[in-house]
Chains A and B, each alone.
Chain A
């Protein structure tokens, strides 16, 4: 089956990002397709590569990047939500006159159309949030 995943909560907030990760991993292991993971609202905070959690804690951000690399996942960050929260890729940093970007490997910044497309294309859209 084809799944779309939506993450509306930041890392280390409650548990939504963890649940979304474990669900995505289990779906992939069961042979399902993950069409896209869409990060919206505070969920965009999962996409900064500058997170440095304590060494004995899980690294939620790196975990997403690693899963994306292993399974060639499409991790999409909502651009409007990202701009509000200071999540920038190289192009956006240049466009906004900022001195650097912080987007993590495997993530890309795009628009809400990507969420709508996931809703249309996928058999199931599963939402995780606060």
Chain B
């Protein structure tokens, strides 16, 4: 079953992204929202882990939350797709289930 996972906290505040990446199965997707968008940027301590996981899991990031934090799309790790709220809704319909890592 392909699942959409959402992570809403920075990896430097909580370990939910780490837990999520350890549980997410190949073919599933991780959407970074709210403070979770920090993990989508280049040059952080978690960049390596995210890149490694991108091999079998698709990564998305919520554009409005990036913009609200002054993080330009040019700062994103290559291969992470930006979605808006409509895209968020579409992702929830495209995958079989949604797991929010809170």
A residues whose Cβ falls under 8 Å from a Cβ of B:
1, 3, 8, 14-16, 19, 22-23, 25-27, 29-30, 32, 123-130
A108 to B90 Cα, complex, angstroms: 29
Contact between chains at A19 and B34 (CB < 8 Å): yes
Contact between chains at A124 and B93 (CB < 8 Å): yes
Most A C-beta atoms less than 10 A away, residue of B8, B35, B65: B8
- Cβ-closest chain B residue relative to A18: B34
Binds A, one of B20-28, B40-48, B70-78, B94-102: B94-102
With A14-B35, A16-B8, A19-B8 known as contacts, the answer to whether A126 contacts B100 (CB < 8 A) is: yes
Interface string of B73-94 (1 = CB under 8 A from A): 0000000000011101110110
A22 to B64 Cα, complex, angstroms: 10
- Does residue B33 face the partner (Cβ distance < 8 Å to A)? yes
With A19-B34, A125-B98, A127-B102 known as contacts, the answer to whether A25 contacts B8 (CB < 8 A) is: no
Contact between chains at A129 and B89 (CB < 8 Å): no
Contact between chains at A27 and B102 (CB < 8 Å): no
Residues of B within 8 A of A123 (CB): 93
B residues whose Cβ falls under 8 Å from a Cβ of A:
8, 33-35, 64-65, 84-86, 88-90, 92-93, 97-98, 100, 102
Residues of B within 8 A of A30 (CB): 86, 89-90
Shortest distance between the CB of B31 and any CB in chain A (Å): 11
Residues of B within 8 A of A26 (CB): 84-86, 88-89
- Can you identify 13 A-B contacts, CB atoms within 8 angstroms? A1-B93, A3-B92, A15-B34, A15-B35, A15-B65, A19-B8, A19-B65, A23-B88, A26-B84, A32-B89, A126-B92, A129-B102, A130-B102
Contact between chains at B8 and A15 (CB < 8 Å): yes
Residues of A within 8 A of B65 (CB): 15, 19
With A14-B34, A19-B34, A22-B64 known as contacts, the answer to whether A124 contacts B86 (CB < 8 A) is: no
- Cβ-closest chain A residue relative to B88: A23
Taking a contact as CB atoms closer than 8 A, the residue among B34, B84, B85, B92 that contacts A124 in the complex is: B92
